[in-house]
Structure 1
């Protein structure tokens, strides 16, 4: 099953990655905080965080970035998205 992983600078300003699952409650989505406001997590850090959460990037998928702005005078927040799947155990792929 394919899920969407997202990396964002949260409302606290810290970078985090989370996986949107079938759970209707975002509180139940797997997440990892990078516990910093800058710099943005590197590709290697994002990949390692997803692995820790039990997910891997779908073959051929690349990060897509979106700028989130509530008002032209507000600080800009960024959201990155990529398709992921649970890491298969053994030969379950």
Structure 2
């Protein structure tokens, strides 16, 4: 799907806040557009949409986010769980 990107959101291990970023393949992660929400509450879909618009992106076909579980320590069943949300976005028009 040309012209589309993946936006992801997860809690930062350093701040405890939700961080939303757009994955730009071929770019260093330090160059990815990102935003850190205030507080630890999961941001609403409307809040995520506003942030994505500010970053220059928009949802493609609705705002259906997919959630997956990961672990902070790989292959350790006792490791804290890390939730990662993702959605497909496109660059917003002018």
TM bin, normalised by shorter chain, reads 0.7 to 0.9
Distance 1:61 1:46, change over 3 A: closer
The 3-state SS of whatever aligns with 1:62 is coil
Normalised by the length of structure 2, the TM-score is 0.84
Instruction: Measure how far apart 1:3 and its partner are.
Output: 0.3
- Residue 16 of structure 1 is matched in structure 2 by 19
Do the aligned partners of 1:23 and 1:29 also contact (CA within 8 Å) in 2? no
RMSD over aligned CA atoms reads 1.5
Measure the CA separation in 2 of the matches of 1:61 and 1:47: 8
CA distance in 1, matches of 2:4, 2:91: 8
TM-score, normalising length: structure 1: 0.84
Q: Structure 1 stretches of 5 or more lacking a match?
A: none
For the residues of structure 1 that align with 2:54 and 2:63, how far apart are their CA atoms?
Answer: 19
Alpha carbons 2:45, 2:63 under 8 Å: kept: no
Question: How many residue pairs get matched?
Answer: 88
Q: CA deviation at 1:29?
A: 0.3
